[in-house]
Structure formats: C-alpha cells, structure tokens
Amino acid sequence: MAQSCGMCGYSLVLDMSFIDLPAATPPMHPLAVHLKAAFDPHYEAPLEVWDYFARSGETIDVGKNHVLKAAQSIEKYGYFLVRGACGLFVWKENNHVCLDLHLENDFFTDDLSFYTGQPSPIEITTLEACTLLRLSKSSIEHLNSTPQGQLLFSIGNQVGYIQKQQQQVDLLTRSAEERYLELMANRPQLVQRIAQKHIASLLGITTQSLSRIRRRLAHSSR
C-alpha cells in the first residue's frame, strides 16, 4: 500500500507483513481511529497500522494532579492523550516552570530521559482527569524496529523538533502579547482549560504580566 508524506515529500510502499493477524481477525482497537486522526495531518498511515500501535500499549485512567513521571526519575513510557490535559514541568526557585502543555490527541514523553535512559528534572503531571494510551519503552523500541514504525516515529520527531524550535524562536523574537495572541489563535482550548499560572509560565512571563495583557486585550476589544 503506497502512502505519501506531504511534509517530507516522499512516498513509501507500506509493508503490512509485520502485523501478525490471527486467522479470525479481532475487532479494530477503539483507539486506532483516534491515533490515525491525530497523525493524519502529518502522514496518512493505514488504520491497521494504528490498530497495531494501540494493541502494543495499555489504556490507563488517572485523576487530576497525578504524577505520570516524577522529577529525577527515568522515563519508561510514551503517551498518547485520549482525554484530559497534562503538563511537563521543572522545579525552579520553589515554583514549577512549564515546558509544555498537552491536550487530547497529543503524543508526548520526557524525551530527555526517554532517549538517554538517564534521570531528568522533568516532571509530567495531569492537569485534568485523563485517559491515556501508555506504551512501554520496549514496545516503542519494537514498533520502531519495523519499517512502518520507524517512518512514523521519524515523522513525529520531525514535527516535534519543528514545533519546539519555533517556540524557542518566538520566545526570543516576539513580545509576550504576540505569543499569547498566537496561543489563543492556534490552541484556544489551552487558554480556556489550563490554569493561568501555567499559561504564563509557558509564555515565559509572570502571572501578573499575563493578567495585564488579558486586561489590555479585553479593553481594546470593547
């Protein structure tokens, strides 16, 4: 089955032989459609591939303020967020500094620890009650050993690198108000659902500065 990646500009014939289907094929995993919909903007892999991904992990439900990965520990999992909100934080001067925020249909992990196999200062905490697909490192390594998995992880990493570098450029070249307006335009649910202190931290400003920006924008819109 041939598929093309608009971002990467190449096509690939997908070999589905790595999926060892039994004689009586079970129903499609319910998360396969969610995974496909989340990744299709970057690359349209067949639904059967995502069914295999979903079956390689486990679905977990956790409450708000649950620590998925503690600071100074080693990351053992990768996650796909089915429902809820999560944040990646580091502790600095008695405060949590927000590195990233995730809502439904996001893939995430502590990359620093996951890929080095070493502890990192990053903590991953749920900000709402969450349902997640959790894949162990060994499952991810197995998926990444297949041609299809290797392609999908490569594209996912490219997307993540581009987003993170753009965030760094914006932090250095754009005003806090410009960054907030962009966040509202591109990720409005973050602004609506996440505590203002975490939004301010993600933008690299204080909560008081964010309040002033919000008041100024509200006044100018009247």
pLDDT of residue 19: 52
The CATH number covering residue 78 comes to 2.60.120.10
In a domain, 217, yes or no: no
Computed on alpha carbons and rounded to an integer, the radius of gyration of the chain in Å comes to 19
151-167 average pLDDT score: 93
136-140 average pLDDT score: 97
Q: Which residue has the tokens 């909560």?
A: 207
In a domain, 163, yes or no: yes
Domain housing 31: 2-173
In a domain, 124, yes or no: yes
pLDDT of residue 22: 52
In a domain, 194, yes or no: no
Q: Among residues 34, 49, 61, which one has the least CA distance to residue 134? A: 61
Percent above pLDDT 90 for the chain: 80
pLDDT over 50 (residue 49):
yes
Give the total number of structural domains in the chain. 1
pTM of the model: 0.85
pLDDT of residue 9: 46
